[in-house]
């Protein structure tokens, strides 16, 4: 039996933000290439990401934000019918095309479906190869390449659907997960642990807004040994004490030393090590249940290799 699920959907490839944008459809191709080349793909339970229900996305987002996304998608469709280019700029780095809203519904839907499969015991754990990413999306707004906060939606869904009392969110993206913090800060059912380059986009997170947030800002050029030390001495004691029943990972790979957006020095071996520590916590307290979802990672080669390393640990291969 396959123990690790791999959730994705073709719609996630159709969302794009214009020529030369680093958060590009080819990121998913780079991951697929590595899964094929390594043979790892044969050991994963590949599943189509369903469309996430708006009602459940609204567990983490304002109704108005969801409605604005839907309205913008309609305007873009009309713009294309009228011969327009069909892009809407949300912030200087973030744009919608006509496929963004469906892709965002699939991305959130992937995390919820992965949660269902893991909670049902069909899968031990799962990785969602989805875009747009989520961890900058706040309760009431899209920003930083993100529209719906896939992991925060998943965490709220797990709490409401399964009555879980302790859900952990682990975020190892190079950027601070300000959107996840915005949605989950102060909720005692959730513990979020993260590290991130600081000062750096989105210039938040240096002080934790609530006791359920463990933020560890690190300077540019921090490398693997220092990260492993903070994971061991700061993350793990908090996670152990919290005893999560389910662990979500905001799996961004832009702290890789080859990534052009971040200035940190992690390698595939570091991602494997961090994943193994998270897996140990999940095995001790959460029956091994982990739902991981793609966030950043913009050097295509490094992204493919890092996701492979992450998945090898999740799949125990
Ligand atoms: Zn990032």
Domain range for 20 is 4-314
Catalytic residue numbers read: 136
Most distant CA atoms of the chain, gap in Å: 58
Cα(254) to centroid of ligand 1, in Å? 6
CATH number, domain at 175? Answer: 3.40.800.20
What pLDDT sits at residue 206? Answer: 94
**pTM of model > 0.85:** yes
Pairing of strands 94-96, 88-91: antiparallel
Cα(197) to centroid of ligand 1, in Å? 10
> If you ran DSSP here, which 8-state letter would residue 23 be given?
S
Cα(264) to centroid of ligand 1, in Å? 11
- How many domains would you assign to the chain? 1
Cα(226) to centroid of ligand 1, in Å? 19
What pLDDT sits at residue 161? Answer: 98
CA 130 to the chain's CA centroid: 8
Q: How far apart are CA 316 and CA 306, in angstroms?
A: 15
Q: How far apart are CA 296 and CA 261, in angstroms?
A: 9
292, 314 contact by CB (below 8 A) = yes
What pLDDT sits at residue 174? Answer: 98
What pLDDT sits at residue 1? Answer: 58
> Which parts of the chain sit beneath pLDDT 70?
1
What is the Rg, in whole angstroms, of the alpha carbon atoms belonging to the chain?
18
Cα(178) to centroid of ligand 1, in Å? 11
């Amino acid at each position: 039996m396959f123990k690790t699920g791999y959730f994705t959907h073709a719609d996630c490839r159709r969302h794009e933000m214009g020529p030369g944008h680093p958060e590009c459809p080819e990121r998913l191709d780079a991951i697929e290439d590595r899964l094929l080349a390594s043979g790892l793909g044969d050991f994963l339970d590949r599943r189509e990401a369903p469309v996430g229900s708006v009602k459940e996305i609204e567990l983490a987002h304002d109704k108005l934000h969801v409605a604005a996304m839907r309205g913008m998608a309609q305007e873009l469709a009309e713009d294309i019918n009228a011969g327009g280019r069909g892009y809407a700029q949300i912030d200087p780095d973030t744009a919608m095309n006509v496929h963004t809203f469906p892709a965002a519904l699939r991305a959130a839907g992937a995390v919820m479906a992965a949660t269902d499969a893991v909670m049902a015991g069909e899968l031990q754990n799962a990785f969602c190869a989805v875009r747009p990413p989520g961890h900058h999306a706040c309760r009431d707004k899209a920003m930083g390449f993100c529209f719906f906060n896939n992991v925060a939606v998943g965490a709220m869904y797990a709490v409401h659907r399964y009555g879980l009392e302790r859900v952990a969110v682990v975020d190892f993206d190079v950027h601070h997960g300000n959107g996840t913090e915005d949605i989950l800060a102060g909720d005692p059912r959730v513990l979020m642990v993260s590290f991130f380059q600081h000062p750096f986009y989105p210039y938040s997170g240096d002080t934790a807004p609530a006791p359920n947030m463990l933020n560890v800002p690190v300077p540019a050029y921090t490398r693997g040994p220092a990260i492993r030390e903070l994971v061991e001495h700061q993350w793990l004691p908090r996670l152990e004490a919290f005893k999560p029943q389910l662990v979500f990972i905001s799996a961004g790979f832009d702290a890789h030393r080859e990534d052009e957006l971040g200035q940190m020095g992690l390698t595939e071996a570091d991602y494997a090590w961090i994943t193994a520590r998270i897996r140990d916590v999940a095995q001790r307290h959460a029956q091994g249940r982990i739902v991981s979802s793609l966030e950043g990672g913009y050097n295509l080669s490094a992204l493919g290799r890092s996701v492979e390393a992450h998945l090898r640990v999740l799949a125990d291969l």
